[in-house]
Structure 1
Amino acid sequence: MREAILTGRFAPGQVLSENALAAEFGRSRTPVWEALHRLEIEALVERAPRGVRVRTSSPEEILDIYEVRITLEGAAAKAAAERATELDRTRLRSAQQAMIDAEDTPEAKAAANRRFHEAVWTASHNPTLVDLLRRLNIHLVRYPTTTLTHGDRWDAVLREHEELLGAIEAGDGESARRIAEHHMFGAREVRLRMYAAGEHPEN
């Protein structure tokens, strides 16, 4: 059910019936109710007169999410610089190379970018940070258009990721934090411009 919401199969504002969901997923109403309760806690659905509906997110709410994500991404990058193992650094290099080699499609670029960020989170060795960042990211991947194809954003992302990798490999936590925060500020600014133009971006 979460995947159906995140991929847009269940659209924002769509009312979800427990009976219909139970039939679609081949489950009784009890696990469906439990799943809907979890999704409500995650703020992906909300109570409606006829059951629950998929929540819609306003530009203001998304920007609020970015405010928090900027801080958390900075903290994760700093921790990664201070705690990353050799295996972590190898995985980060591999994730960066996968971005460089990614197909020139919005979907491929967005997926490669998420894998890079997830590798940074993992390298932080801070489960609480990872959990919070994953929860925040759930609300951003619901939007079908990525900021990564806007103007020269992709080239900027690759360059900033390379700078972040350099700081992590050097064990420079403060530089890593500063670079990660600047990187997410840039993503937020692109998102603002896309909203102003009537687009609804992801990442």
Structure 2
Amino acid sequence: MAIKPAQGDAYSLILEAIDVGVYRPGDRLVESELAERFGVSRTPIREALQRLETQALLTRDGRSLIVASLDHNQLAELYIVRAELEALAARLAARHANPEEVRVLQDMISDDRKYLGDPQALSRANRRFHHQIHLASHNRFLVQQLDLVHRSMALLATTSLAAEGRDEDSLAEHDAIVRAIAARDEGKAGDALRTHISKAFITRLKLDAVRDEDHI
């Protein structure tokens, strides 16, 4: 799967490649191969790799850099932080979102139904939906922190939306979140988003349990 070297710097291109699954946890990243794939020189690739290592998205395996993976405790810590920050974003969106932003969120839910049955496409749509809520919070510092959290989410090898029935449930949960935002109900919006993240975490734990059982 080739990545077009169009918009974005080397860091953004590598991050996007990890996010869409071109590079998965445990994959080795080689400067020369990345430079050829993205059509850039090795210097910006080297700088991007150093930045990604600093952010713990890459880790060392001997002299090689590989895409990091999350253990059970790290996964739990990530979801705890994500749930609280996302809930805050929903509460602030209920307070600050303008009618146009609410309409965009409503349209996203309707449009995303076409991705049912396609976990990867729905996962990308899911990220766009959550990012729109982040923006609707109108709090730049919160958006920055959530961007960091979602970068770490790229280290998850699979999407919880691949679980049977999770796609329909997720869209229903999105609808509940947006209804609360539209109603300016801050408490309900925050609770709905926190519940949404909790259910996604439960689904992921079940998927991981099945995967681990298959490797016993």
What TM-score, normalized by structure 1, do the two folds share? Answer: 0.86
The corresponding residue for 2:169 is: 156
Deviates more, 1:39-48 or 1:18-27: 18-27
The corresponding residue for 1:95 is: 108
The gaps in structure 2 that reach 5 residues or longer are 1-13
SS at match of 1:175: helix
Give the one of 206, 209, 213 matched to 1:193.
206
Q: How does 1:59-138 map to 2 (within 5 A)?
A: 59-138=72-151
The answer on whether the counterparts of 1:47 and 1:53 sit within 8 Å (CA) in structure 2 is: yes
Aligned-partner residue type, residue 93 of structure 2: A
Identity %: 35
Aligned CA distance change for structure 1 residues 47 and 97 (closer, same or farther; 3 Å) = same
Q: Is 1:171 matched with 2:184?
A: yes
| Pairwise CA distance, 1:103 | 4.5
1:85-114 superposed Cα distances (whole Å, 9 cap, x missing partner):
111111111111112333521122222222
Aligned mates of 1:42, 1:183 — CA distance in 2:
27
Deviates more, 1:39-48 or 1:185-194: 39-48
Q: Is 1:3 matched with 2:46?
A: no
SS at match of 2:23: coil
The answer on whether the counterparts of 2:122 and 2:161 sit within 8 Å (CA) in structure 1 is: yes
Aligned mates of 1:158, 1:32 — CA distance in 2:
37
The answer on whether the counterparts of 2:70 and 2:156 sit within 8 Å (CA) in structure 1 is: no
The answer on whether the counterparts of 2:24 and 2:155 sit within 8 Å (CA) in structure 1 is: no
Aligned mates of 1:167, 1:53 — CA distance in 2:
41
The answer on whether the counterparts of 1:12 and 1:56 sit within 8 Å (CA) in structure 2 is: yes
Corresponding residue pairs, total: 199
1:41-96 superposed Cα distances (whole Å, 9 cap, x missing partner):
22211234324222222233222111100001100000000000111111111111
The corresponding residue for 2:10 is: none
Deviates more, 1:156-165 or 1:22-31: 22-31
Aligned mates of 1:195, 1:152 — CA distance in 2:
17
Aligned CA distance change for structure 1 residues 103 and 192 (closer, same or farther; 3 Å) = closer
| Pairwise CA distance, 1:14 | 3.2
The answer on whether the counterparts of 2:87 and 2:191 sit within 8 Å (CA) in structure 1 is: yes
The gaps in structure 1 that reach 5 residues or longer are none
The answer on whether the counterparts of 1:8 and 1:142 sit within 8 Å (CA) in structure 2 is: no
Aligned CA distance change for structure 1 residues 14 and 104 (closer, same or farther; 3 Å) = closer
| Pairwise CA distance, 1:31 | 1.8
The answer on whether the counterparts of 1:16 and 1:53 sit within 8 Å (CA) in structure 2 is: yes
SS at match of 2:59: strand
Aligned CA distance change for structure 1 residues 30 and 112 (closer, same or farther; 3 Å) = closer
Q: Is 1:36 matched with 2:49?
A: yes
| Pairwise CA distance, 1:172 | 1.0
